[in-house]
Structures are given as C-alpha cells and as structure tokens.
Amino acid sequence: MKSLFNPRDRDALARRLSELEPGAPRQWGRMDAAQMLRHCAISLGDALGDRLVKQAFLGKLITPFIRRQIFGDKPFRQGAPTDPMYVVSDAPDFEAERSRLATLLDRVVQRGEAKTGGMMHPFFGRLRGEEWGRLVYKHLDHHLRQFGV
C-alpha cells in the first residue's frame, strides 16, 4: 500500500506536486489549484497535532464500516464531501501554498510513523502512524488527480 512514509511514494508525490500548474483545470469539484493546496495543507495539521480536534460522532459510527475502504489501496472517489473546516473559499497565492504544503509534508515525514501515530483525525478518530501515511498519500493523490497530475 502506498504511503507518505515510503520514500518512493513520497518522491512520486513531490514530483507530481512540482508539475501542478496554477491554472490547471479541475476535473471535478469546486476548488481551484491554489485552494486545493491550502486545503491539503490545513488537513496536514491534524497529522502534526497542530490543532486540537475531537472525533465527530458520525465518524465514530461510520468509521468501523469504512475503515478498510479508506485505508486500502483503492483511490478516493470523486465528489466525496469536504468537512467545512477544510473548505477554502478565498484566493490564496499558488506558489506560497505549494511551498507551504511541501514544508508540511516534510514535517510529517521527519516526524515519522511512530510519532504521528496516535494523532486524532476529526472524522476517523485516533490513527496509527501507518494509517496516517496511507491517508495523507491517498488524500494528496486524490487532489493531484483532480487537477490531472
């Protein structure tokens, strides 16, 4: 399974991130490329423990039934709902957001699986380090595919 903590997978994500263009047309969704970069950066705050989050009640109910799908090999589907706390509606600077996202990805990798394990995701709850690695990989892969990279 692909993971941010696998150097080959991480390098492939970094290459794709560098290939993303500011005006890349989205294949689905509402965000433009700069908004997507900020959206992904905000979500990395959970893996880093940058903000205190609690697991949503709905997540407690549903996660046991979808855990295998979320952390498995199958890519995320198009049109999955976005939690309002991750919605970006302003017009961020593309290059600043790309740089910020790359820095945050590096921070997660440097932190490592062991220290990332136990961080709380607002929907899926407390995750093991390997689950964070898969989730971050799949989330970023999903959005890079959204913009054709």
What span, in angstroms and rounded, lies between the C-alpha atoms of 86 and 84?
5
pLDDT (average), residues 100-115: 97
DSSP for 57-124? HHHHHHHHHHHHHHHSSSPPPTT----GGG---S---HHHHHHHHHHHHHHHHHHHHHHHTTPEETTT
What is the model's pLDDT at position 56?
A: 94
47 belongs to a structural domain: yes
Query: The domain containing residue 27 runs over which residues?
Result: 7-146
What is the model's pLDDT at position 82?
A: 86
26 belongs to a structural domain: yes
Q: For the whole model, what pTM was predicted? A: 0.94
What is the model's pLDDT at position 51?
A: 85
What is the model's pLDDT at position 6?
A: 98
What span, in angstroms and rounded, lies between the C-alpha atoms of 65 and 144?
27
16 belongs to a structural domain: yes
2 belongs to a structural domain: no
Q: Is residue 38 within a helix (H) or strand (E), and if so which, with residue range? A: helix 33-48
CA–CA distances in Å: residue 72 to residues 31, 45, 77 = 26, 22, 13
1 belongs to a structural domain: no
22 belongs to a structural domain: yes
43 belongs to a structural domain: yes
Band of the pLDDT at 145, cuts 50, 70, 90?
very high
Domain count, the chain: 1
pLDDT (average), residues 61-87: 90
Band of the pLDDT at 3, cuts 50, 70, 90?
very high
pLDDT at position 81 over 90: no
139 belongs to a structural domain: yes
